[in-house]
Structure 1
């Protein structure tokens, strides 16, 4: 139909003075009602018909209503819930005519309790811990187990720990400690987990840089973050921009003579607490200036709980590491491997997503992998190891991919902005050709679907997703006003609670699952990466001869999504 919902208000004309039904017409004609049979087919999806009632003395006597609905779209329970909410709004508005519409509660007490409390009953009371705590437990329990493997090179937990400890002691001498940053410009390698663990052991947060990014962006990030040191290699350093940040070249083994023993708070510049930053990842920004998300250690126990309770990771599992270290998915892989006693299988730099990645997974007997749908689309059917656990994330997964890869595997859909320690919700195991929901909140996390007035919306109604829990980032590095606009006071939970405004449009299903619908702004996800078109527009507009710029995502061929830019030249500029 041209429209899906109709609200028809039928006014009853005043009765005649003698009270005998309908009004008189010229020529002595009268009108009276004739009953008809009930409608057997709905003309639109939802049709509300409301009729005014009149008493014998012509005074208003309330309204009567009927709802017709398409039974192939709505069941009787859903239709009844719509009627109940409509009646509740009318009654509230009539009883409180001065009340703003935003304060009229569409939900009844039972329904509000379900969407706010029952569907967020995720409390596990996970004990706080830091990244070094979680890793060193497995060093004590499984020192000779394989921790990292890349090609023919591997490290046991004991050797990995010793190398990280030596480097950590050097970093402390160079000023690394709690509330400070150490930048990493490293490709996927054995050195990467060594560096990440070493920074964590000092109490500092690591700042991953992608050496393939433009020199201007790398320089801008280092200038904005002001790390105390930059860990890199001689080969990578040759391609980095010149900055004032001191460099430490890992391939020169600068810490070989340091003590390999674990660090404690006496070795650090200050005690390490769970509230201290663990890592900072820079994401695209609407102003053209990337923003650094400061993630603390408080979300790590919840992340570990996901790995163990929902994905079945156990000591001895083999976890694929192929995502960019500058993407929070790269930290997901490192944590899944090294904080569970598993083996981290590192894809060699240059491994092309597709058949080569699948061959590596088979050769190294990978049991767990997180793969974006864009990469999964490139892998030949059946090429991944059978019976493995597969997590899809970062963008919408087409139903045909779910049907192809869920058979014989544990497949789940994960959702979480960088600001929520990688993962905020997780779906149940997927099967068949379905559009996967983003699931329900993970341990100790709450997800609220709210309208513009921060009021919960009913199941099936779109709203913006807000996330609350220990996994929330501290905010944006050096950007207090931006932090205040996205990390807002929560009307739910304990006093002083904060929730993160994701900017994602979602809705609840009748069972409490969350379905992703889109964005409230222009941000897009492309091949697993968060992209702000406004950032690219701002950079493009700085080019000589460009008056205006616009950037959008086009999909001229199914599955082939790419960024396309358009420019308006200055008057007189060459086109």
Structure 2
């Protein structure tokens, strides 16, 4: 497949359909869809879309979700995906900032929309509609993906058609996927792993398999039954496969991304399937670098390098003044090339300073090895990765302090032995002379806080544990003393744990 001449998803998809009309495109559970059938469905949906620049999509993971994404792009629009189980307030915040007027959805999810947002309800079979396909440019927005924001508001990254096609080419250049390959669709739709699963697969003539189960063993059996050849997921998925020594017999590539991959998470299966460690912010379109960790020795801390830049990208380590640093010297990882997106939509002027023409300041610290591979060390700021998704503690703190009964809040992180980060919340309750702070009162406050947070934040952003304090420790200049908080405990023991131990 000669993808370089295609700068847009519709052009590439039409070429795939023309070349392989009868090849498997999507397995929706056990129901196969060939490319010509998928194309008919895409055209039917595209033919009923309103004349609006952006379309929201809130659907169960199914053929309708995949076809809707392709239909929106074929119609020259950008899509904004939201999971149905997102907190209603977060869905509405996204709809408002992205100025979404119509959402492709199911009847069961219409209550999640803003009153002035119109639902476009899809059901199968679709009624045929003629499509007058507009001209689509590589400079047109393809999708907007929301990430956590340090200002207390989520940020929408605008990825262009040409950015997306850049990554489709880069993936194919590395992994040579095509007809006969089947990618597991295992990610939620708001992670950019989902972008990798869908577009690098279909636009290279391979097939996408959507299991109708979230249970690990059932998914692994599904992979075995349907001959899955590609799985892309977070390190915790690799770790679970590793601990149970479960590798589907036809799997030829296992990709880890979204967080640091440790050798202990892959050592039992690395000789059975090539395990890749990948790196890249959403702002640079899925992945900026690849590293095959199988057969390689880990670094001193037990992790693996993030590798070398993908096709069409380059990376440099820069100091605070923007100058390249010597090999082995720590600095900021800066990413150049065709994957650098158009930046954040809406009022994010300060955050958009991270974009400098064709370069993105990642905010990640790292260094380059003598062999050319790069190493990721962590963040310059407070941003952390939780279950593979970026979280700005400031956003969580902002929501916590708006919840009833909370006067002040701070969020810190702790790391488990596998290297995964977890959030812990520190709370100062509002003064209430009538009620003494007892363990029961603290428990009541934290339960009310969890309920409040669940209405505004996705589950991975809600701290797993809380500590109630009379006041926050502060430094001489009045800032919260994080070291003093850490001295009180790392947050692994929740209020309930401590009470149960009394």
For normalisation by structure 1, the TM-score amounts to 0.71
Distance in 2, Cα, partners of 1:437 & 1:554:
22
1:10-57 residue CA offsets vs partner (Å, 9 max, x unmatched)? xxxxxxxxxxxxxxxxxxxxxxxxxxxxxxxxxxxxxxxxxxxxxxxx
Q: In the alignment, which residue of structure 2 is the partner of 1:470? A: 338
Distance 2:292 2:239 in 1: 21
3-state DSSP class of the match of 1:170?
coil
Q: Deviations over 1:228-255 (max 9, x none)?
A: 31011112335x24431110111276x5
Matched, 1:437 2:309: no
The Cα shift of 1:527 comes to: 1.1
Aligned to 2:152: 288
1:373 & 1:243 partners in 2: Cα distance?
A: 40
Q: Does 1:323 align with 2:199?
A: no
Query: What is the CA–CA distance in structure 1 between the aligned matches of 2:311 and 2:211, rounded to whole Å?
Result: 30
- The answer for the alignment partner of 1:499 in structure 2 is 359
Are the aligned partners of 1:505 and 1:516 in contact in 2 as well (CA < 8 Å)?
yes
Equivalent residue, structure 2, for 1:159: 37
- Report what 1:351 is aligned to: 214
The question of 1:264 aligning with 2:137 is answered: no
SS of the counterpart of 2:223? helix
C-alpha separation in 1, matches of 2:106 and 2:352: 38
Are residues 1:533 and 2:396 paired?
no
Residue aligning to 1:196: 69
> How many Å separate the matches in 2 of 1:372 and 1:243?
36
Residue 426 of structure 2 corresponds to 566
Q: Answer yes or no: is the 8 Å Cα contact 2:101–2:116 preserved in 1.
A: no
Residue in 2 that maps onto 1:415: 279
Alignment partner of 1:187 out of 60, 72, 76: 60
Q: Partners in 2 of 1:242 and 1:258 — Cα distance?
A: 28
Equivalent residue of 2:327, what SS?
coil
Q: CA offsets, 1:143-201, max 9 Å, x none?
A: 11110002221211001001110110100xx113xxx1100011211111110011011
How has the CA–CA distance of structure 1 residues 385 and 517 changed in structure 2, closer, same or farther, with 3 Å as cutoff?
Answer: same
Match 2:104 to one of 213, 231, 236: 231
Following superposition, the deviation at residue 547 of structure 1 comes to 1.7
Give structure 2 stretches of 5+ with no counterpart. Answer: 438-502
Instruction: Give 1:568 deviation, angstroms.
Output: 1.0
The runs of at least 4 consecutive aligned structure 1 residues that moved more than 3 Å come to 124-128, 555-561
Q: Is structure 2 residue 248 aligned with structure 1 residue 375? A: no
- Rounded to whole Å, the distance in 1 between the matches of 2:144 and 2:106 is 21
Paired positions, count? 428
The question of whether the paired residues in 1 share the 8 Å contact of 2:247 and 2:272 is answered with: no
Distance 1:343 1:185, change over 3 A: same
Q: Matched residues in 2 for 1:471 and 1:557: separation?
A: 34
> Contact (CA 8 Å) 2:3, 2:12: kept in 1 or not?
no
Comparing 355-364 with 514-523, which one deviates more in the overlay? 355-364
Q: Residues of 1 paired with 2:195 and 2:230: CA distance?
A: 15
The separation in 2 between residues aligned to 1:278 and 1:470, in whole angstroms, is 14
Deviation at 1:483, TM superposition (A): 4.7
Q: 1:152 to 1:402 in 2, by over 3 A?
A: closer
Supply the distance in 1 between the matched residues of 2:295 and 2:170 (Cα, whole angstroms).
Answer: 20
Aligned 1:91-130 pairs, distance under 5 A? 126-130=4-8
Residue in structure 2 matched with residue 459 of structure 1 by the alignment? 327
SS in structure 2 of the partner of residue 566 of structure 1: strand
Instruction: Give me the whole-angstrom Cα distance separating, in 1, the residues matched to 2:157 and 2:267.
Output: 35
Distance 2:83 2:411 in 1: 23
1:552 counterpart = 2:421: no
Using the TM superposition, name which of 543-552 and 519-528 deviates more: 543-552
For the residues of structure 1 that align with 2:271 and 2:320, how far apart are their CA atoms?
41
- Matches of 1:244 and 1:305, distance apart in 2: 39
Whether the 8 Å contact between 1:403 and 1:431 is mirrored in structure 2 is no
Quote the Cα distance in structure 2 between the aligned partners of 1:369 and 1:463. Answer: 32
Distance 1:298 1:381, change over 3 A: same
Find the aligned partners of 2:281 and 2:347 in 1 and give their Cα distance: 18
CA 1:561–1:444: 2 relative to 1, 3 Å:
closer
Secondary structure at the counterpart of residue 209 of structure 2: strand
| 1:516 paired residue among 331, 351, 376 | 376
| CA distance in structure 2 between the aligned counterparts of 1:151 and 1:556, rounded to whole angstroms | 35
- Distance, in Å, in 2 between the alignment partners of 1:242 and 1:224 is 12
- Any conservation in 1 of the 2:231–2:255 contact (CA below 8 Å)? yes
Segments of structure 1 that go 5 or more residues without pairing to the other structure are 1-123, 266-270, 489-496
Cα 1:190–1:465 shift into 2, 3 Å: same
Structure showing greater Rg: 1
Q: 2: distance between equivalents of 1:428 and 1:499?
A: 25
